[in-house]
């Protein structure tokens, strides 16, 4: 099952500012998750009257097998879709994947945006650390991946691991987030998930790419997946 997101993605209704349900703090009615827009000085207000899916750029992604869409929202220039495992309460999730993008210029640098998010989260999360997993170019788009480790979020008394991939396209900026809530992490050296799970996460995010059928610099797969501009499309 694959999801082909054309153009843009958006922010959760549980926060009213732009961008990214990453991990802990600001929107307390959603267990303290914070918008990345508050960490990014480059974030701009939503433009009105802009076609949502006018761009030929596509984010090619799929949720983990068996996961179900728990939330979707969009408006001109931004869109977000979230997935959680089946039989999961969307407000009490322990694992989540979100796909998000925005198109208001200037599009930020992928590395700098993740650093800004890390700096912001470090102030609010007890015993926080972040790790640069990858920074480079994928399909000729600047890309960065970073792992955030919150050992204790005071708002929900939980720890959280968040692996985030950012991609700066030519017309849109994409944020892909995979997160897992865990009991408080006691030791700085502890990693509450096994190495093979961390490797699985890494492989999962690595497979997510952006392409553009109209630009040879960013080729799409030879057999593109059917798409629907009104909603993510799941096809076997």
Distances (CA, A) of 111 to 51, 144, 165, 202, 211: 28, 6, 10, 17, 20
- Rounded to whole angstroms, how far apart are CA atoms 26 and 112? 21
Residues in Cβ contact with 219 at an 8 Å cutoff, skipping those fewer than 6 apart: 139, 211
Domain locations along the chain: 3-212
Question: Residue 15 has what pLDDT?
Answer: 30
Which helix or strand (DSSP H or E) is residue 71 part of?
A: strand 67-75
Is the backbone of residue 151 left (phi > 0), alpha (psi -120 to 50) or beta? alpha
Q: What is the pLDDT along the chain (236 residues), one digit of tens a residue?
A: 344 444 333 333 323 223 334 433 223 333 334 334 333 333 333 333 334 456 899 999 999 999 999 999 988 888 999 999 999 988 889 999 999 999 989 999 999 999 998 998 888 788 898 999 999 999 999 999 999 999 988 888 999 999 999 999 999 999 999 999 999 888 766 677 888 999 999 999 999 999 999 999 999 988 644 443 333 433 33
CA gyration radius, the chain? 17
Intra-chain end-to-end CA distance of the chain, in Å: 5
Query: Are residues 8 and 101 in contact, defined by beta-carbon separation less than 8 angstroms?
Result: yes
Question: Residue 76 has what pLDDT?
Answer: 84
Burial degree of 46 (CB within 10 A; 0-12, 13-18, 19+): middle
Helices (H), the chain: 110-124, 195-206
| Ramachandran angles phi, psi of 120, nearest 5° | -70, -45
- Rounded to whole angstroms, how far apart are CA atoms 21 and 27? 9
Question: Residue 194 has what pLDDT?
Answer: 86
| Fold of the domain built from segment(s) 3-212 | Protein Transport Mog1p; Chain A (3.40.1000)
Measured at the CA of 91, the angle between CA 85 and CA 92, to 5 degrees, comes to 65
Give the alpha-carbon dihedral of 15, 20, 21, 22, to 10 degrees: -140
């Amino acid at each position: 099952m694959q999801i082909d997101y054309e153009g843009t993605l958006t922010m959760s209704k549980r926060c009213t500012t732009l961008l990214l349900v990453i991990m802990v703090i600001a929107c307390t009615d959603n267990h303290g998750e914070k918008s990345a827009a508050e960490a990014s000085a480059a974030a701009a207000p939503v433009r009105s009257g802009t076609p949502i899916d006018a761009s030929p750029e596509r984010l090619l992604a799929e949720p983990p097998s068996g996961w179900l869409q728990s939330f979707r929202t969009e408006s001109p220039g931004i869109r977000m879709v979230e997935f959680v495992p089946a039989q999961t309460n969307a407000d009490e999730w322990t694992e989540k994947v979100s796909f998000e993008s925005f198109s208001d210029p200037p599009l930020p640098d992928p590395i700098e945006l993740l650093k800004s998010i890390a700096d912001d989260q470090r102030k609010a999360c007890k015993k926080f650390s972040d790790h640069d997993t990858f920074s480079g170019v994928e399909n000729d788009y600047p890309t960065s991946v970073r792992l955030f480790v919150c050992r204790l979020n005071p708002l929900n008394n939980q720890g959280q691991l968040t692996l985030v991939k950012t991609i700066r396209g030519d017309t849109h900026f994409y944020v892909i987030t995979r997160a897992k809530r865990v009991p408080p992490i006691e030791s700085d050296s502890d990693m509450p998930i096994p190495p093979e799970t961390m490797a699985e996460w890494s492989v999962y995010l690595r497979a997510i790419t952006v392409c553009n059928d109209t630009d040879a610099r960013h080729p799409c797969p030879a057999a593109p997946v059917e798409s629907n501009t009104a909603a993510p499309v799941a096809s076997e």
